[in-house]
Chains A and B, each alone.
Chain A
């Protein structure tokens, strides 16, 4: 079988052709102002089950979002999977007819930075291994993981995938952006069980520009060690605990409450902040937070956002003080600043963070600086992963109640916790940060050190 057939295909978007088509079609419909965001992806993925292929998949997908403005500068939008000339024609007509219902109080415009120079990033286009090789590697990885420990009975969730994707942004004012990227990812989640005990599960996830760069052995070892470590679990008493968040857990929590620094949420009244929150303390002075989609640890970071604004590094919290909100074109206009490269594309443009980077604020010292997850003798809860964030986070209220995987650490000895939840209020949590370790750790959701928080409520089964 031809390996090319079973590998990731190359790009299909032709920016020049799309631009020419839109110029011609818009002119014929008397539309003078428009912009378009398009994505196209080709991907392949494999899953295995006990040495056999479970499911092999390939997909090719296109998607465009087209915005047009009418003579009164009212905006309309349409999305479609059809990038042919006919598809574009239908989308233009549909978007134009939607302009009559546009929001007169807030009309998005082209980003003033849609033609600004993009930052250079080193994102290599990697060759595809193809399905056959992905399958063989995953099969071997599953086998090795199963053999790591007699209690590992299954690897129920696993997958190895490759994707080649493109993104473009073009507007009638002459802006034109186009990027092409490749990515590969591997995940292995094992299930372990011992006699008369509950099954335990944990795993590992790796991402890189191509399969050649995926550290398969590290993924196997991490999945095995994490799963085995949770085998000897114990219930925990409900109460208030000193808690240490592992980087991934803290980043997940912070992102769930990103309305705190999201200008769209502030304008909509659903943020925990308001316009006057800037330059005020919103956390312990120990915390500094940046957003930087271009950070080298962000595999597959995009160099421009949905409106064509260049992605950039932005300081959000400096030593506990809220310094900036993240913006789209229209929110930036409302705040009298420039857009920050965090926009989607829509009639109402969404805003979201790219890649959060947490660090200990320079020059700030903690009275609990001795707290370190490697050698602390104090009793604490180490939270490895927070689960079910979509259900347990009330972002507009600021509250959370989340199940987690983690350890109860006492006198330096760790015991896996059988089942527990951590609950609290995010504003209060940010202010109860009593130490931030020095070492930043890259995860697949951002960068952060271990974060220590005092007096958090933990519900156990005792």
Chain B
């Protein structure tokens, strides 16, 4: 601070990870990993310089700090121009979580659960030829200290279980996967309902194995709950991050308090749902998490903002500064993001469509520089005369957020969340997407 910086932030991270892969009936990979590092960020006149390093020696850290200052034309000096008043008392969100490591099951117990799942897939899925189960456990300790006094520590436990199956019959193939992720639940793997997961995958595999390619075109769609929420995440959520507002790449950048969606749509981003994959006690800039209502009855109410976003766009921080690791500067990112529940029953949405598509399970998606999004559909069915009909494959939903949001005309009452990973400017982070069943009046479906 004596060099004249407006703010200096230090992010220390230590991780202890473990990943297990089971294929067919055996464990084919166990990969423990450890990492330590520091990210130093300096703000000056609305600009910032960021340096990350594995070198945690005093010399290494001093060098990194000098680099970050030097990027902004600042130099260490003997005179004290500092306004630094010292750090606040440590807010230790990690203290009550210190027993996580001991509470997670032993490796052998975890291995047995994963193998139990791949074995059950063999038992129940007659056409399933390739079975994979995976488990990852990430324990991340972070300390954030900033010259505005911020001083926080957190201990985060992320666990993720994946189960995938490839069914094959002659030239027919179907690939179905499910992922279950939690935060702060050491015994997740022991609570995992393997039977239910396997039954769901087997049923989907059987239905999709002989599915025909979907016919391309514009049509109404019903998107299922849970991971169906990826449409909102990709189509709209990213465009409400101040990272996009700064760049001018969001069509919503000057739409605060304007109607951008159908009145059926209320959308929320929060970090508070117990055990949800995107939940955090504090963000990666040391700010306590919160609930942020993004859209209320169709009206845009707030953007997701981090420290840089507040400085550059004037939008107050929302506890959304997140990063994959010390190697990335924090950016405004989503946490648990979902469209809130409505008043309809799921079947009412389907019954309202003469000819369309029901997207039961989504794959991944992305949003382009001009707001165009797309995401693949893993499991879909045609809707004819208000009834679910034949399964179809190869569908991709394409559109632009500002065109699609007004077309979400019905929301059901079955809101549910699903874990996922989100890759963006500050790396891959744990998130939750979610929604109830929703109806989109018209969307482009890519297919054959």
A residues neighboring B (CB under 8 Å): 1-2, 5-6, 49, 52-62, 76-82, 87, 90-91, 94-95, 98, 101-106, 131, 153-154, 156-157, 189, 191, 198-201, 238, 268-270, 346-348, 387-388, 390-392, 394, 396-399, 401-403, 419, 421, 423-424, 457, 459, 461
Contact = CB atoms under 8 A, between A and B. Distances in A.
11 contacts: A56-B47, A58-B68, A62-B54, A81-B37, A101-B30, A102-B30, A156-B369, A157-B247, A401-B446, A419-B444, A423-B213
Given A5-B70, A59-B51, A348 B75 contact: no
A396 B166 contact: yes
Interface string B361-394: 0011110111110111000000000000000011
Nearest to A399: B394
A103 B395 CA distance: 37
B359 to A, nearest CB: 13
Contacts of B248: 153-154, 156, 191
Nearest to B68: A58
Interface stretch (B21-29, B79-87, B187-195, B294-302): B21-29
B28 A421 contact: no
Contact of A348 (B28, B32, B246, B376): B28
Contacts of A189: 369
Given A57-B52, A82-B35, A348-B21, 19 more contacts: A6-B67, A80-B34, A82-B34, A87-B34, A98-B32, A102-B30, A103-B28, A103-B29, A199-B371, A268-B130, A387-B374, A390-B364, A390-B366, A392-B376, A402-B396, A403-B372, A421-B374, A423-B213, A459-B444
A50 B67 CA distance: 24
Contacts of A105: 26
A61 B174 CA distance: 40
Contacts of B54: 60-62, 81-82
Contacts of A201: 368-370
B66 interface: yes
A191 B253 CA distance: 15
A402 B448 CA distance: 11
Which applies to chain B's interface (DSSP): helix, strand, loop or mixed?
strand
B366 A391 contact: yes
A403 B396 contact: yes
Q: Of B21, B216, B375, which is in contact with the most chain A CB atoms at under 10 Å from its CB? A: B216
B50 A57 contact: yes
B55 interface: yes
B4 interface: no
Contacts of A52: 47
Contacts of A387: 366, 368, 374
B327 A59 contact: yes
A424 B374 contact: no
Nearest to A50: B248
B396 A423 contact: yes
Name the 5 nearest CB pairs between A and B, nearest first: A421-B446, A459-B216, A79-B33, A401-B396, A56-B71
Contact of A131 (B35, B71, B363): B71
B36 interface: yes
B357 to A, nearest CB: 13
B366 A399 contact: no
B264 interface: no
Contact of B26 (A91, A103, A398): A103
Contacts of A106: 28
B67 A80 contact: no
Contacts of B27: 101-103
A62 B444 CA distance: 45
Contacts of A90: 34
A56 B29 contact: no
A49 B247 contact: yes
A219 B74 CA distance: 31
B70 A78 contact: no
Q: Of B54, B73, B400, B445, which is in contact with the most chain A CB atoms at under 10 Å from its CB? A: B54
A341 to B, nearest CB: 22
A60 B55 contact: yes
A182 to B, nearest CB: 19
A397 B129 contact: no
Interface in B137-180: 166, 173-175
Contacts of B364: 390-391
A270 B175 CA distance: 10
Given A80-B33, A98-B32, A5 B67 contact: yes
Contacts of A347: 28-31
B67 to A, nearest CB: 5
A51 B226 CA distance: 43
A403 B166 CA distance: 25
A6 B71 contact: yes
B424 interface: no
Given A58-B67, A401-B396, A421-B396, A81 B36 contact: yes
A82 B35 CA distance: 7
Interface in B404-448: 444-448
Given A106-B28, A392-B396, A459-B445, A61 B52 contact: yes
A62 B365 CA distance: 31
B249 interface: yes
B218 interface: yes
Contacts of A60: 52-55, 60, 64
A66 to B, nearest CB: 10
Contacts of A200: 370
A423 B395 CA distance: 9
A156 B249 contact: yes
A87 B35 CA distance: 10
B6 interface: no
A397 B218 CA distance: 25
B26 A397 contact: no
A78 B71 CA distance: 35
B107 interface: yes
Nearest to A131: B71
B255 to A, nearest CB: 15
B217 interface: yes
Interface in B5-57: 21, 23, 26-37, 47-55
Interface in B331-372: 363-366, 368-372
Contacts of A269: 129-130, 166
Nearest to A398: B173
A1 B73 contact: yes
B390 to A, nearest CB: 17
Nearest to A99: B30
Nearest to A55: B48
Contacts of A402: 396, 446
B35 A81 contact: yes
B369 A157 contact: yes
A59 B324 CA distance: 15
A191 B36 CA distance: 38
A91 B16 CA distance: 12
A31 to B, nearest CB: 16
Contacts of B448: 423-424, 457
Nearest to B35: A81
B41 to A, nearest CB: 9
Nearest to A387: B368
A363 to B, nearest CB: 31
A210 to B, nearest CB: 20
A391 B366 CA distance: 7
A461 B218 contact: yes
A222 B268 CA distance: 41
A76 B30 CA distance: 7
B393 to A, nearest CB: 7
A58 B63 CA distance: 11
Given A81-B36, A423-B446, A57 B249 contact: no
